[in-house]
Amino acid sequence: GAGVSQSPRYKVAKRGQDVALRCDPISGHVSLFWYQQALGQGPEFLTYFQNEAQLDKSGLPSDRFFAERPEGSVSTLKIQRTQQEDSAVYLCASSSNPMGQGSYEQYFGPGTRLTVT
Amino acid sequence: SQKIEQNSEALNIQEGKTATLTCNYTNYSPAYLQWYRQDPGRGPVFLLLIRENEKEKRKERLKVTFDTTLKQSLFHITASQPADSATYLCVTQGSGGYNKLIFGAGTRLAVHP
């Protein structure tokens, strides 16, 4: 079946603009994760959803970052009043297992590269 | 704080040789350790998972070891091919609770014909 998809693949925003990044996880996957990946670094955890519930948002860097998954499938990561330090690749991943129940592998989307000018 | 260290320098090897990548972690004891492959412009792809009570895991040309005393994992690719060239990410995971994955920065492998 189809893997995880993300849109847009590339986004250029002027400083101060709001952006919305979309993630379509693998159908039926209960867990959905957002990560931020800076150049030359590994992905850094932002937030976690189990179905529609946002159970962990400890990695969101500021209150300008907001994520939702209202029907337990598609998720949107919104960044308000973008700053240059927000420039990064934003990755979405999904998993069939809930977090906290043993091991789980994650299936990643291709990411959205955000550049704030 | 929990920390993962992977060699930041690229590893260059000749086709057919065995590539060995090292992952060291400090200040915690993960229950699981995973390895992912990431190609430029793409998301990471899961390769292997090893549990803390397993010493070694194999999958085709891949082998992973997990030494909980040394707090180290080694990732081997035997009979390497140019198509193996990518960045390899070491990932740790705790048990129970909200056991988030913690990613290393990755090591870039370049296999030359």
Q: From the CA of B107, how many Å to the nearest CA of chain A? A: 9
Judged against a pLDDT cut of 80, whether residue B96 lies above it is answered with no
CB A73 within 8 A of CB A23: no
pLDDT above 70 coverage of chain A, percent: 99
| CB-CB under 8 Å, B105 with A40 | yes
User: Does any CB of chain B come closer than 8 Å to the CB of residue A100?
Assistant: yes
Judged against a pLDDT cut of 60, whether residue A1 lies above it is answered with no
CB A27 within 8 A of CB A4: no
- Per residue in A48-96, pLDDT (tens digit) is 999 999 999 999 999 999 999 999 999 999 999 999 999 999 999 999 9
| CB-CB under 8 Å, B103 with A43 | yes
Name the token pair of A11. 């986004």
* Residue written as token pair 């060995």: B20
Domain containing residue A63: 5-116
| CB-CB under 8 Å, A106 with B103 | no
How many domains is chain A built from? 1
SS (H, E, C) B90-105: EEEECCCCCCCEEECC
Question: Rounded distance, CA A16 to CA A80, Å?
Answer: 7
- Per residue in B32-64, pLDDT (tens digit) is 999 999 999 999 999 999 999 999 999 999 999
| CB-CB under 8 Å, B93 with A108 | no
**Rounded average pLDDT over B94-107:** 85
Sign of CA dihedral B65, B68, A31, B42: negative
Q: Which domains are seen in chain B, by residue range?
A: 3-112 (2.60.40.10)
Instruction: Give the domain CATH number at A18.
Output: 2.60.40.10
